[in-house]
Every structure is written in C-alpha cells, then in structure tokens.
Amino acid sequence: MQFKDVLVSPKLKEQLLNQVHEHRISHAQFFLAQPGNHAFALAVALAQYLCCEHPTDTDSCGTCPSCVQFSKLSHPDLHIYFPNCNTKTIKKDSDSILLAPEFKDFVIKNNYHITMQDWLNVLEGENKQPSINIRDCSNIINHNSMRSYMGGYKVYILWAVDRLYHSAAPKLLKTLEEPDGQSLFILISEKPDQILSTILSRTQLVKIPRLTDEELMDALKAAEPDIDDQTIHDIAVISEGNYNKALQIYQDNAEQREMIDTFDTMMTSIMAFVHQRPLEEINYAQVQTLFGVIVKQGREKQKAFVELILRMLRNLLMQNTGSANLVKVTDQESGILSKFKNLNLVHITKMTEECNKALYHINRNGNTALIFTDLYFKLAGCVK
Ligand SMILES: [Zn+2]
C-alpha cells in the first residue's frame, strides 16, 4: 500500500512523512479512526515507506523487493494483530498468526476498506467475542525481543485494539514503553473509550479525520467512473465521510436500477407480445437473458425482483386509476410507468396475484428459471 492510494487527507500524509524525514517517529502511535476511514491502509503505507529500499520524499517506490512483499502483506518485519476467535478451520487456541492468511486475504479483497462487521462475517463469529488475546500478546513480546529480518524497522499493527483482551493488556505495557530496537507499534481503533488508559498514555495520538464531501466525491469518482455527478453528490452528502457507506449506497442503487431496467424490458416485451407486434419488438431473448442474470444471483435477489414488480404494479394502479398523487417512485421509475397507462384495475389485480404466486414458489425452492418464464406468460395472459 502506497501513500498515494490511501484515502485520507493529504495533510495527514504530510504530517506522517515529516515525522519520518525529521527522524522523530514515535515508536508507539495510536491511530484514532472514524467509521469508514482508510486507517489500516495508512498504517501499512507508513510501514511500507519505512522499509522501502528506494523511497521518494513522498512515497514508497512500490517496486523494490520490500514493497512487493508489502503488497501481499507478507513482509517478514510486518506483524499484524487483529481480533480473532476459533473458527471452522482453527478449532482451538486461535491467534493472529494462525488466522493471518484469512485476514490478509480479507484486507486485500476489500482494498483495505475493512470494517469489524465484515471481518466478523469472515470469521463466522457473530455469536463469539473475537479479541486480540493473551497468545497474541505473548507472540508480540517474543517477536519484539528478536532482531528484524531485513535489518530495518519491525512494524506491529494492532487493528481494532479496543478488542485487546483486558487482562492480556498489562503484558504489553513494558514492550510499548521500551520496545526492542527499531520498532514501530501502530494501534488502530474507532473506540478510544474502550481502551485501557495505561495503553493510550503510552502512545502518540494520530487523529484520522473524516473525509470531506469533496474528498469522498473524488474517491467515488475514481472507484466508479461511470457514476454521474449528481448521484455522486447525493451519495456523498448522506455518507458522512464514510467511504464504505458511500460505496454500499451506490451498489444498492446500481442493483435497484438494474432491476428497474429488467422490469421495463419485461413489461415492454409483454405488451408487444399481447398486441402481436413484430418479433424484434417482443425481443423475448433479451428478457430471458435478464431473467438468467437474476436467477444466477440467488433466491434473495429473485424475491427482491418480484417484490419490485409488485411495488411497480401498486404504483401503476394509483397512476392509472386517478390517484397519481399517491404514486411514490423515482424519476426513472415514473418514466417507465408512464408507458403502461392503458393497464386497468382488472389487469393489475390479476398480475399482482400472479406475482404473489411466483413469490410463493420461490420461497418453496421451486425451479426459478421456470418460475420466471412462467410468470412472463402468466402476466401476458392477465393483459390479454
Ligand atoms: Zn520500495
């Protein structure tokens, strides 16, 4: 992870770089993070910079052997500790070393945008209380008494250190106070009130501020180049500087828009079919392709799609029976609904019944490819 790819304010990066250039790196730092911060990325970027063989004034080189190892989080002087618990594969005495492959994989897959909730999902430890435990603390202390592998810094990153098991913490105090050799400890947490004051008092505080709306918009634009400016702006405003949240909102939106498009294509095809329009207008192959996409996405998506049809039918009913003021849809949806003004109360009631039957069959684990094909012709039958 290079500084250039870390999503925090440039000022903060500069502040950390200055520490390095002026040889006044505090050997124990506490990164006070905010939800959705790129705090873990920042910690790794700092570690990578310290170990890089050809750093520039502003960043690690990204290509030297040390940087290459960092890109896989496998540098021998990088030690990562994180809340852990027994899992399906680690049945007893879990610790951060045993679970390191899973954690590194998790970090890289999520592009360093990691949250405790997502990590809990990986651990399948929802009912457990993962912690940085007593074995982790012993490992840190033992490691710290050894020389670094590459002759430079040994860096210890303790992620979500608020989950440091309290009775294990005193073991660490001496190491934090008088670390061996060139060591850097970076403790990361969003919850300083849950950390022992004796730990906090031994670290230098580095506050990682929320992203501004502008920084968040730039980051979203970089991640999703197709997204339009208005959408970016709307998402940034409601995301409160939280990149993970912004991305989630965008992805949910994108899924929703895709399903609306499928509804549009399906209904347009059904109307063309009912009115015996030419085959290319019916375009049934396209409908089948779109159904195929939904079927592949699993039962929850399939149900969500039928529920979307039901919601659109309710709004169609309002629109077509003189209660347009009760229609609650987005601009995109409104444009689609206006194409189907000739559907009347009887049509829509029958269609609603068919959708409810389809939902019932999906819930009963029916063959969904068949259910959607069937639904198409049933809906057409309702309009005839
Ligand atoms: Zn390098």
pLDDT in tens, 99-135: 999 999 999 999 999 999 889 989 985 567 899 999 9
Burial 301-327 (b: 16+ CB within 10 A, else e): bbeebbebbbebbebbbbbbeeeeeeb
How far does the centroid of ligand 1 lie from the alpha carbon of residue 52, in Å? 4
Among candidate residues 223, 33, 222, 7, the one with its CA nearest the CA of residue 112: 7
CA of 204 to the centre of ligand 1 (A): 26
Tell me how far the alpha carbon of residue 75 lies from the centroid of ligand 1, in angstroms.
Answer: 12
Distance of CA 287 to the CA centre of its chain: 31
How far from chain centre, in Å, is Cα 377?
38
Amino acid type, 99: L
Q: What pLDDT was estimated at residue 247?
A: 86
How many angstroms does the Cα of residue 157 sit away from the middle of ligand 1? 19
45: CB partners within 8 A, 6+ apart: 1, 2, 3, 5, 6, 13, 60
What pTM does this model have?
Answer: 0.72
Amino acid 304 reads A
| Residue range(s) in the chain whose domain bears CATH number 3.40.50.300 | 3-209
| Cα 51 to averaged position of ligand 1 atoms, centre (Å) | 7
Burial of 375 (0-12, 13-18, 19+ CB in 10 A): buried
Q: What pLDDT does residue 109 have?
A: 92
Note the pLDDT of residue 125.
58
Q: Using an 8 Å Cβ cutoff, are 382 and 347 in contact?
A: yes
Residues, CB within 5 angstroms of ligand 1 (ion): 52, 60-61, 64, 67
Q: Which residues partner with 207 through β-bridges? A: 32
Rg of the chain over CA atoms, in angstroms?
Answer: 27
Side-chain-facing half-sphere of 261: CA atoms under 13 Å: 11
Query: What separation in angstroms does the CA of 91 have from each of 97, 99, 123?
Result: 14, 11, 12
Distance 78 CA to ligand 1 centre (A): 14
Q: How far is CA 141 from the centre of its chain?
A: 33
Cα of 56 from ligand 1 centre, angstroms: 9
pLDDT of residue 149: 84
Q: Which residues of 151-183 are buried (b: 16+ CB within 10 A; e: fewer)?
A: ebbbbbbbbbbbbbbeebbeebeebbeebeebb
- Tokens 């809990």: give the residue: 120
Could you tell me how far CA 330 lies from the centroid of its own chain? 25
- CA of 53 relative to ligand 1 center, distance in Å: 5
| Residues of the chain under the 50 pLDDT cut | none
Q: What token pair was written down for 356?
A: 């409810």
- Smallest Cα–Cα separation from 100: which of 159, 49, 144? 159
CA of 70 relative to ligand 1 center, distance in Å: 9
C-alpha of residue 325 to centroid of ligand 1, in Å: 62
CATH of the domain spanning 249-383, picked from 2.60.40, 1.20.272, 1.20.950, 1.10.357:
1.20.272
- 140 C-alpha to center of ligand 1: Å? 25
Which amino acid, residue 11? Answer: K
Residues 195-233 as b/e (b if ≥16 CB within 10 A, e otherwise) read: bbeebbebbeebebebbebebbbebbeeebeebeeebbe
User: Which residue type sits at 159?
Assistant: W
d(CA 186, ligand 1 centre) in Å: 20
* CA of residue 151 to ligand 1 center, whole Å: 15
| pLDDT score for 127 | 60
Ligand 1 centroid vs 152 CA: distance in angstroms? 13
CA of 205 to the centre of ligand 1 (A): 27
Cα dihedral across residues 334, 335, 337, 342: positive or negative: positive
CA–centroid distance, 277 to ligand 1, in Å, is 64
Cα of 109 vs centre of ligand 1, distance in Å, is: 22
Q: Please tell me the distance between residue 21's alpha carbon and the centre of ligand 1 in angstroms.
A: 16
Q: Where in the chain is the domain with CATH 1.20.272?
A: 249-383
75 contacts: CB under 8 Å, gap ≥ 6? 47, 48, 51, 66, 69, 150
Return the CATH architecture of domain 3-209: 3-Layer(aba) Sandwich (3.40)
What's the CA angle centered on 137, arms 132 and 138, to 5 degrees?
Answer: 140
**Residue 80 Cα, ligand 1 centroid: separation in angstroms?**
19
Cα of 10 vs centre of ligand 1, distance in Å, is: 20
Are 211 and 7 spatial neighbours (Cβ–Cβ below 8 Å)?
Answer: yes
Cα-to-centroid distance, 108 and ligand 1 (Å)? 18
Is residue 41 within 8 Å of 219, Cβ to Cβ? no
Q: How far is the CA of 16 from the centre of ligand 1 (A)?
A: 17
Strand ranges for the chain from DSSP E: 28-32, 78-81, 154-158, 183-189, 204-207
Distance of CA 67 from the midpoint of ligand 1 (Å):
4
For residues 79 and 67, the answer to whether their CB atoms sit within 8 Å is: no
Q: How far is the CA of 2 from the centre of ligand 1 (A)?
A: 9
Q: Please name every residue paired with 185 in a beta bridge, in sequence order, or none if there are none.
A: 28, 156
